[in-house]
Structure 1
């Protein structure tokens, strides 16, 4: 692999946007893995804080900027020939993508790895979803393809870190139940670390993949009753799945202060799960990395503390638990 890697990535920094995510997030993990490979990394962050300091301590060149700021993007992109573009759910996603693409083309970027979404495989000029984010992703892919940039699209399915941990940990911790509005639909969640490993493979050797689109899933596609069994095995206690109505769940998200754009996106994801639209499987993670994707059971076992209530000491006063949506709000 080392002899086949894109030569210029050894001489010029690889740009990683969204690098200041939580520990385990895609951008941050991509940065860590590239540095472990001895690559020069330019990590783009929105502001200086403990996370940017941690990136510097890892050995990354940290630059601050906003994806919507033209001047900042020139400063960030100049001198890089390979870049990873990823952005969290936002109503400004399309504008940010176009801004980054225009600057990348101006500076002659030779590989633009774009983080997209797998639902786009079911969309077209005549078929869409109710999610405003899905629509922005679809338009962004169209624009990138028209741009003439050397693009590689990555389309992961639902992430384990979201619905399967952030939105489930408290109900599992308190009630031994996964409470999600997925009905009996099947799903194939993928771990962020697997997505990050794919990104790294493409960044260090992009040329064979230019113009291609890859779909990233976990190792199984099954319903939530099956996954409750996987939680049970990992946590060594009985966990069940409790289907809940989408409407009240959506209202709870709004009550917690999540942006309407995000809530509409999450609600559509729930509706699509109920309709069986997340019953997807792909071998691309294994084909690109040579490693099998992380299973739900292994993911839950690795993060068991998030799903297990701590035992208060005799003198400790119990505190009210924060909900999954509170945690999501804080993380964002």
Structure 2
């Protein structure tokens, strides 16, 4: 049964939420384990993460239909969206505190100095919440059991890998930007981190291709009727060009080729990350709009039956026409 309950705002929210959470998670990993002391290089990527989460929250609240009562998300004990909203708030608050500790303006230097002492705790909490957001974006869809194409353990794995990959792409594009003052040491460290990011993204893109193909082709070959119908549309139906050429080709395979074969070139350092970001957005678009579900017995008959006594009105009425 095909009826889109979620539209483009949810696509954008899932993409930006995963992107922002991934940037925070990777920033924490690099600052604590890979490049200690290089946290300031991630200040601009962290700003991108905060902006992505803020815009994503806006689209989520907008899609709920009643923005002024968004607080009800936290009052419903069984709402899966409550956990996502909580993680978003935690990530944004502690990410903002960490980012503010690096602000170079004189008028805020006192506050930045106070916050500097808590950088480690702020980034750890933001990174942990960011990882939760990445996983949550896939879990939110996979808990909807009526939608067979979503209700698979592979979807949270796929979304987590994709979110981490898009975060790598965004960090590669923004690493070492404002408020970092140019120095030879900062430039060298930024280049080393960027090289590591590219290698990580190569691994992630390969993993994403494998998980994506396994999920889609398994549904195509052995899924239930509803999931197989969606997979068939992806593999050889009307969305096949978006899947094979757009998402798999330009969003994954071409960036992989550019990463491997175009080291230190604009194609590797700019074009490939941009394509990865667009591929991540397209993945979520195709998944959200693949929301067919099996029809409940008698459901179609119920929705199409005519109320007793209204047969004459229904048979004569034409849209927007006032008969009475």
Q: TM range, normalised to the smaller chain?
A: under 0.3
Q: TM-score, normalised by structure 2?
A: 0.26
Structure whose residues are more often strand by fraction: 1
Q: TM-score, normalised by structure 1?
A: 0.26
Structure whose residues are more often helix by fraction: 2
* Structure with greater Cα Rg: 2
Point out which structure has higher relative CO (alpha carbons under 8 A, 6+ apart). Answer: 2
